[in-house]
Structure 1
């Protein structure tokens, strides 16, 4: 906000941003395969890497996998499944690859596919029909988030939610919502921030 505002407004957001010097980015993969998965396999899985291992070019030691339901023909053709994979990554790092970006992106994709073959039941028997990878650079192009930051501000015990930026600002008619405002990331948090803005505008107009 400090970069797209001016004067007192820019100064306000510069001060607000001081406490929030970290932000998440994500590496994501979209994969379609034939359906070779056990019927009892949950739709949402978190795969932990071996102790000391991390996804290349990240500090992440786990991978999240969400799968389409069997027979969900809206997300995949009959007899196939879609997998959405994500892992945390540094937005700043992926915007400073200096000519090594494509090779690094391919290395991450290959690593994650290897992990899935090793640890996700049924994946080693599946034929990959479609695969695409995205980094924080991709996410910036897709959703215009600065440096491709997604997932809001990392929560910690040292940072109280009550200190997060409010939906109200000192400037008349300017309200804030999204994963960087109270109460934070995730669909419930972002939705509630929008509801807070709606409620405040409604109250002010009455």
Structure 2
């Protein structure tokens, strides 16, 4: 019995890894080939984890923000910036009088390949600077109030999360009729089960946890428990 995990936030293989590397292409089940036609890899992310002084945030700041200046660039690298400030909900996550800002924006692996360590570091710093400059539209003088900064790239996601090209997971390549088009935990290969964000119901911690519960139930039923 073989299990292949596909969690949006853990070091597991993707469905592409499973059926392109574990099983020879000529033996890939038709259902899996159809899945690969319906879905594509989403981009990865440039992620910034920032520690800031509490007075950086204007009074009444909300926990989540989306920053998009040009709708035509919504899906471009660095086009859309997502912001989460968990310490607004739980101040104990940061030292007193400080906040954590987690911000991320789409980024593709090919923009980070073939760089020397020095070039890679410089590119990370430049990208972080661009994101912070845009964030200053909602958090004025943010750059002057930083106590901590950590930058992650698609290469970071690939290295520490084991994701193919650092991808966040599969997204439809064309309009589909709801989530039920995603496969469930069993495959056409006897004894091979799949679990994670490329099984129903998709990406995200809640969805992946559900797929794990469903897979455990499926295995139990198949074993006669």
Task: Give the TM-score of the pair, scaled to structure 2.
Answer: 0.76
Question: Aligned residue pairs: how many?
Answer: 201
Partner of 2:3: none
SS of equivalent residue, structure 1 residue 83: strand
Q: Given the alignment, which residue of 128, 132, 150 partners 1:109? A: 128
User: Relative contact order, CA 8 A, sep 6+: which one is greater?
Assistant: 2
Partner of 1:153: 170
Q: Which has the higher strand share?
A: 2
Q: How does 1:178-197 map to 2 (within 5 A)?
A: 178-197=196-215
SS of equivalent residue, structure 1 residue 111: helix
How many Å apart are 1:108 and its aligned residue?
A: 1.1
Partner of 2:5: none
The CA distance in 2 between the partners of 1:168 and 1:77, in whole Å, is: 46
User: Are 1:11 and 2:28 counterparts?
Assistant: yes
Does the aligned pair in 1 maintain the 2:39–2:173 contact within 8 Å?
Answer: no
Partner of 2:65: 45
How many Å apart are 1:48 and its aligned residue?
A: 1.5
Mark the runs of 5 or more structure 1 residues left unpaired by the alignment.
none
Q: Which has the higher helix share?
A: 2
Q: Deviation per CA, 1:35-81, whole angstroms, max 9, x where unpaired?
A: 012341111111112466679xx534221111133484542100100
